[in-house]
Structure 1
């Protein structure tokens, strides 16, 4: 897809990847951008910085009625939605001990928000015979987010839903991409590091943290080629192949990585880094 003269909606638009997508879409010549976020003041500030083609609105993506209203208002103002970027996401930094509220929030933001977006945006796209759904799913959706059970589970579900959409609607003119970055310099990563979350520490230790603008550039390149799986970190494709070919060996490498970080915390010499570790 060429983004020139396109109308796009971007959720999670108050910062990080969402704000970077807005900047890049504007640079690509988008006609209009609607940025949505739970933090209305922050997303309005991002829209103001992007320019007059952008507007920011406060939306809770876990509320289907609000998502429907966002889509209806955008279609009323601009006549159509060419691209819907379901980008909002949350992490927990914990395992099975995370309470039901944490799991429920992860499920609603990381999965159901994508479902709500598709339900709302698809009818008009299908009627026109064209449209693009870009879902930010994370490399955790094709690999594993060490230390975060809910994030891993829901991001796998998000990739699965995006794949289902692509299989079901591509022949009707709908393009779907799952954007799956690994480490990105966002507030989510910074907050995770500040809290000592294992997953955030693994990402930081990998030395492969991209800027949100890098991820947005990869997203635009992937959309231009209409690729389903967009991997801003090229190594993720190799990791996914290793994981598929040797699941036991892959898990062994991850366990060694966790042990190495634990040994470093205790001041002991770490074991050699396994070749199969991300």
Structure 2
């Protein structure tokens, strides 16, 4: 069943919208004549973005189920309904197994996975009632291919991809569209503030501008396209991985060795 949705006139929530991809998504939705409510935990930056773009905003921690409920309730009050939920908020998690604390795991799991689950859980009932709705869940190419040196990020982004797949399989024939956004390097504060080895890794196939990624999101919604891979190389890597899993893992091990040779200070972080 196709769930192609014209963006014009739709009511949209975008989380993680104060900066980067989320802000660019908001701009693209507004250019397409949609109505948007933006959400972020950074209140100062969120207010600035909301003022610049003339949209309503909600300051919230999306890892909290109660906060997601409040986002949905308030957005319904602002817009009279919800057609598209872009669950875009995410946090980085550079660090290996031994350097990632329990607190780190809980935080990254809450934002990168549970926020998607809570958004779907509490928005689906009204979307099913109106027999129409769309979720855009931001994951990462790391969710498809793993990110060297980032245990928490890799695991949670893989879980985000898996949940988006499940959501599409389960509700795609009931009027609900789902897209999963899986970019590599994008020019955001998350990438620019990352350690040198991480920036080198995510920039291997080039750094994209947030506006270009946002444009791909709009196109995907209007085609009911599940996987959004702004970096086309990701699709080739997926094929290589599927064709010879062991060879692919060997290649990733070689890449890790090369990176650590160039950035020896990262050895402790990668453990």
Q: TM-score range by the shorter chain?
A: over 0.9
Question: Shift in Å at residue 251 of structure 1?
Answer: 1.3
Please give the secondary structure, in 1, of the residue aligned with 2:39: strand
Please give the secondary structure, in 1, of the residue aligned with 2:33: coil
Equivalent residue number for residue 179 of structure 1: 181
Higher relative contact order (CA 8 A, sep 6+): 2
Runs (5+) with no aligned partner, structure 1: 267-278
What is the aligned-residue RMSD (CA, Å)?
1.2
Is the 2:96–2:149 Cα contact (8 Å) retained in structure 1?
A: yes
Question: Shift in Å at residue 260 of structure 1?
Answer: 2.0
2:186 and 2:234 map into 1 onto residues whose CA distance is 13
Equivalent residue number for residue 28 of structure 1: 32
Q: 1:234 aligns with which of 229, 232, 239?
A: 232
Q: Is 2:46 the counterpart of 1:18?
A: no
Please give the secondary structure, in 1, of the residue aligned with 2:137: strand
Please give the secondary structure, in 2, of the residue aligned with 1:184: coil
Is the 1:40–1:56 Cα contact (8 Å) retained in structure 2?
A: no
2:69 and 2:263 map into 1 onto residues whose CA distance is 47
2:37 and 2:27 map into 1 onto residues whose CA distance is 12
Please give the secondary structure, in 1, of the residue aligned with 2:193: helix
The TM-score with structure 2 as length reference comes to: 0.93
Equivalent residue number for residue 203 of structure 1: 202
Equivalent residue number for residue 190 of structure 2: 188
Runs (5+) with no aligned partner, structure 2: 265-271
The TM-score with structure 1 as length reference comes to: 0.90
Q: 2:115 aligns with which of 113, 116, 139?
A: 113
Question: Shift in Å at residue 190 of structure 1?
Answer: 1.2
1:232 and 1:2 map into 2 onto residues whose CA distance is 20
Question: Shift in Å at residue 89 of structure 1?
Answer: 0.5
1:14 and 1:114 map into 2 onto residues whose CA distance is 18
Is the 2:144–2:158 Cα contact (8 Å) retained in structure 1?
A: yes
2:51 and 2:111 map into 1 onto residues whose CA distance is 25
Please give the secondary structure, in 1, of the residue aligned with 2:38: strand
2:91 and 2:123 map into 1 onto residues whose CA distance is 22
1:246 and 1:25 map into 2 onto residues whose CA distance is 40
Q: What is the 5 A alignment of 1:31-180?
A: 32-51=35-54, 54-97=55-98, 98-180=100-182
2:240 and 2:20 map into 1 onto residues whose CA distance is 30
Which contiguous aligned blocks of 4+ residues in structure 1 show a shift greater than 6 angstroms? none
Deviations 1:176-196 (A, max 9, x none): 01011011111111111xx34
